[in-house]
Structure 1
Amino acid sequence: MVYKILQSYKVAFSGLSRETWLLSAVILINRCGYMAVPFMSMYLTQSLHRSIADAGLVITLFGVGSVLGAMAGGYVTDKWGFRPVQIISLLVSGMLFVLFSFVTDFTGICVLILVLSFFVEAFKPANNTAVASYSLPVNLTRSYALNRLAMNIGFGFGTSAGGILAAIDYGLLFWVDGLVYILAGLLITLLLPEGRKISKNAHEVSQSAGQSPWKDAYFVRFLMLVTMYMICFVLLFRLVPVYWKEEMHIGESTIGMLLGMNGIIIALFEMVIIQNFAHRKPDSFFIISGTVFSALAFLALVVPAVMPLVPAAVAVLLFTAGEMLALPYISTFVISRASEMNRGKYSAAYSVSQAAASIIGPAAGGFIAANWGYDVLWLALVLLSFGCALGFRFLFQSSVRLG
């Protein structure tokens, strides 16, 4: 039994390119310092004593900057290549995180978060394109899973350590974040090469309806559903920690461990799950199943419990299971829909949907929580997640009928 388990892990991690491993190693280091953003709402409400509405506004501005950064990042990636975009965005983001530790004026925070999020999000289309460039088509889903594995190991460590640092001094979060971002930018400069050269007629093999993803009607409908799912995803990491702190009286370090549990579970199981589930079901099955698990996660927050840690841990477990099922296949769908000529634009469109969720989710979620309470918010997210699952099902069924 132990031998079979070890073999499953060996097979899951074999056959990936050296560049894929190096990129994932850099992302791992970068995400180990990803502390400030998950604790931003708590920093504003606990350290600066701003209201939950003010925290929602700042997170919303983060989403606005993210939309602009994603669009610019995708466009520049297709023009300049993914390597310089990754390097510049990481270095500038690092310097801005350090600067954030010195700003306490609310107006200054709002301006800085807008600029910071622009550069943070510009990295994502370039990184998404880099993964595809360094990977063979047959390994694409596993390459994205490895990249996510690195992100989540780093995220697990970063949030756990971030909870400890937040309990000491929230300012430490920004310093660590900034220095690690700068280190990641330098490592990409030193370790990673340019990707494969793009052939002039590469666009001829594209599965997309045109060079612009926004003219691909099927893809746009897909992105609308992804945005619905990402609203739930964003709120789990933005408002749920505030709920745990204010309503369930869970401490910062424990919250950090709860959020870190998400990354640890993904690190242990996602690659093996993808390897063993490959070709057993269509990709659409896993995307739909992931959104259903999201609904169950928010439902767990509504269930009364004597020990607050129990529903909190169950919610993280369920949401993590859904994330492992949905996100790798969503990323694969996005890149598979594009060609080498417009991967940056398709990746940017995907990032825009995530950024839009960062705008809509905290603003709407904060408003609902402030006016009707957290339980109403969680039930609304249960309905949204189930509606998203049905939407994906109808969308993929229409594709089969058209095919």
Structure 2
Amino acid sequence: MLKAVFTRYIDNFRGFSREIWILTIITFINRAGTMVLPFLSKYLKEDLGFSYNQVGTVMMCFGFGSLLGSWLGGKLSDKIGFYKIMVFSLFTTGILFFVIQYVTTFMGMCAAMFGIMVIADMFRPAMFVSLGAYAKPENRTRALTLVRIAVNLGFAAGPALGGLIIVGIGYKGLFWADAITCIVSILIFWALIKEKKKEPIEEHNENTQSNVKKHSVFYDGSFWLFLFSSFITAVLFFQLFTTLPLYHKEAYNLTEFHTGLLMSFNGLMIFFMEMPFVGYFERKGVPKIKIIIWGALLMAISFYILIIHIWLGILLISLVFLTFGEMFCFPFSNSFAMGRAPKGHEGRYMAFYTMSFSAAHIVSAKSGMEIISRWGYTTNWIIMGTAGMLAVGCLLLLQRLLHKENT
């Protein structure tokens, strides 16, 4: 019985091309090397002596740079190809990480963080387009999931390694580590993967390019409704890293160690369960939009659960709902966005998709903290849960629009 379960689990990882596995490995190396980000606010406050307001401003510059970079990366991927953008983005980001350690003024850091994120986040939409080129049509969603798992594992390893580097060398060591991993990962990519033109994707489902009435993303109303829903679910997800750790401490007096255990539980669930879920839904041919709707609903419920402040186990139950929502939403949202794009416009579509996450990153912390400071945690959970239900409503409307497109 156990052998059959293990075999079925491993089968979900079969069928990928050599290029997909290499992309997964360099994604892990790159994300594990992204050690500055978890400690950035601490570095700005403690090492550079910035005020809380200045730290917030730098982080906003970080977010706006991410927005612009995502848009540029997508647009240029369509113009000159994803391969060149990926190589340029990661190699240049590595060089900039060497330089940024010498920037110590407030205005200089604002400009530096904006600039480095413009270059760094050009990589994301280009990488999504590359998956469309190197993955087989029948396993594209699983390929996206494989890369997501690499991202999660990288983010899990990065902060731990970063903490050791700070203790041993100091914050300067983080910039060196980030720079080296960026350059090493893209050199591996450049050496082992050759540029390939993206082939037309033939899929007979609700996302095929034949359903797109206009070639420009700006005229695709259904896609904009999808983006709005993705933005909301991303805002909910980012609460996991902003307001929830504070809530653990203030409402239940949990230590950083206990919060870390909960975060690790989230990562382990994704590692062991997301790929089997994706493989199952793909085999059954379940429409992507239906799975995304269920994901948004589970996310909304996870915040309503937090209103029940009577037992520590509520945190774990809420996290389980949030994690299942994440596993249902994000892999299929990625795949939906790529499948929605007409041939030759994949970069633009993925740019706007990644920009929705960048915008959510900016909005999530600011809105959550503001609501908590004015009205408390319970109000924040009610507002977040209700926002999740709004996303569900938008996705149900999108489902009807897609049905009309197909008839």
Q: TM-score, normalised by structure 2?
A: 0.86
Q: Distance in 2 between matches of 1:49 and 1:369?
A: 26
The answer to whether residue 269 in structure 2 is matched with residue 274 in structure 1 is no
Q: CA 1:136 to 1:23, structure 2 compared with 1: closer, same or farther past 3 Å?
A: same
Shift of 1:334: 0.8
Q: In the alignment, residue 233 of structure 1 is paired with which amino acid?
A: F
**Mapping of residues 278-289 of structure 1, within 5 Å:** 278=282, 279=284, 281-289=286-294
The answer to whether residue 353 in structure 2 is matched with residue 339 in structure 1 is no
Among 313, 317, 320, the residue aligned to 2:320? 317
Shift of 1:177: 2.7
Q: Distance in 1 between matches of 2:55 and 2:21?
A: 37
Shift of 1:12: 0.8
**Mapping of residues 81-96 of structure 1, within 5 Å:** 81-96=81-96
Q: Which residue of 2 aligns with 1:143?
A: 143
Shift of 1:98: 4.1
Post-superposition Cα deviations, 1:241-291, rounded to whole Å, max 9, x if no partner, equal 455567766555554554344333212111111112322632122111211
Post-superposition Cα deviations, 1:161-192, rounded to whole Å, max 9, x if no partner, equal 44565677555444433322222122111111
**Mapping of residues 5-24 of structure 1, within 5 Å:** 5-24=5-24
Shift of 1:328: 0.8
Contact 1:243 1:374 (8 Å CA) reproduced = yes
Contact 1:41 1:239 (8 Å CA) reproduced = no
The answer to whether residue 2 in structure 2 is matched with residue 2 in structure 1 is yes
Q: Which residue of 1 aligns with 2:215?
A: 211
Three-state SS of the structure 1 residue aligned to 2:241 is helix
Q: Which residue of 1 aligns with 2:97?
A: 97
Contact 2:133 2:198 (8 Å CA) reproduced = no
Q: Distance in 1 between matches of 2:209 and 2:345?
A: 11
Shift of 1:381: 1.2
Query: Which shows bigger deviation, 46-55 or 380-389?
Result: 46-55
Q: In the alignment, residue 107 of structure 2 is paired with which amino acid?
A: T
Shift of 1:316: 3.8
Q: CA 1:56 to 1:254, structure 2 compared with 1: closer, same or farther past 3 Å?
A: farther
Shift of 1:93: 2.0
Q: CA 1:54 to 1:371, structure 2 compared with 1: closer, same or farther past 3 Å?
A: farther
Q: CA 1:247 to 1:33, structure 2 compared with 1: closer, same or farther past 3 Å?
A: farther
Contact 2:209 2:339 (8 Å CA) reproduced = no
Q: In the alignment, residue 210 of structure 1 is paired with which amino acid?
A: K
Q: In the alignment, residue 365 of structure 2 is paired with which amino acid?
A: P
Q: Which residue of 1 aligns with 2:193?
A: 192
Post-superposition Cα deviations, 1:334-356, rounded to whole Å, max 9, x if no partner, equal 11111331111111111121222
Contact 2:209 2:340 (8 Å CA) reproduced = no
Question: Number of paired residues?
Answer: 397
Post-superposition Cα deviations, 1:281-318, rounded to whole Å, max 9, x if no partner, equal 321221112112222333454443675xx555544433
Q: Which residue of 1 aligns with 2:128?
A: 128
Three-state SS of the structure 1 residue aligned to 2:16 is coil
Q: Distance in 2 between matches of 1:120 and 1:88?
A: 9
**Mapping of residues 106-185 of structure 1, within 5 Å:** 106-162=106-162, 171-185=172-186
Q: CA 1:369 to 1:352, structure 2 compared with 1: closer, same or farther past 3 Å?
A: same
Q: In the alignment, residue 83 of structure 2 is paired with which amino acid?
A: R
Q: CA 1:59 to 1:148, structure 2 compared with 1: closer, same or farther past 3 Å?
A: same
**Mapping of residues 66-77 of structure 1, within 5 Å:** 66-77=66-77
Post-superposition Cα deviations, 1:132-164, rounded to whole Å, max 9, x if no partner, equal 100111111111111112111222222444456
Q: In the alignment, residue 193 of structure 2 is paired with which amino acid?
A: L
Q: TM-score, normalised by structure 1?
A: 0.87
Give the alignment's Cα RMSD to 1 decimal. Answer: 2.9
Among 237, 244, 250, the residue aligned to 1:240? 244
Among 271, 296, 300, the residue aligned to 1:295? 300
Q: Which residue of 1 aligns with 2:231?
A: 227
Q: In the alignment, residue 275 of structure 2 is paired with which amino acid?
A: M
Three-state SS of the structure 1 residue aligned to 2:197 is coil
Q: Distance in 1 between matches of 2:214 and 2:54?
A: 41
Q: CA 1:180 to 1:206, structure 2 compared with 1: closer, same or farther past 3 Å?
A: farther
Among 355, 360, 383, the residue aligned to 1:357? 360
Q: CA 1:371 to 1:205, structure 2 compared with 1: closer, same or farther past 3 Å?
A: closer
Q: Distance in 1 between matches of 2:264 and 2:346?
A: 31
Q: In the alignment, residue 370 of structure 2 is paired with which amino acid?
A: F
Contact 1:75 1:344 (8 Å CA) reproduced = yes
Post-superposition Cα deviations, 1:178-224, rounded to whole Å, max 9, x if no partner, equal 3222221221111111123668xxxx965433332111111111111
Q: Distance in 1 between matches of 2:382 and 2:173?
A: 35
Contact 2:303 2:385 (8 Å CA) reproduced = yes
Shift of 1:67: 1.4
Three-state SS of the structure 2 residue aligned to 1:341 is coil
Q: In the alignment, residue 282 of structure 1 is paired with which amino acid?
A: P
Q: Distance in 2 between matches of 1:256 and 1:42?
A: 17
Contact 2:129 2:350 (8 Å CA) reproduced = yes
Q: CA 1:91 to 1:245, structure 2 compared with 1: closer, same or farther past 3 Å?
A: farther
Contact 2:62 2:117 (8 Å CA) reproduced = yes
Give the unaligned 5+ runs of structure 1: none
Query: Which shows bigger deviation, 392-401 or 296-305?
Result: 296-305
Q: Distance in 1 between matches of 2:353 and 2:267?
A: 22
Query: Which shows bigger deviation, 133-142 or 175-184?
Result: 175-184
Q: Distance in 1 between matches of 2:66 and 2:15?
A: 34
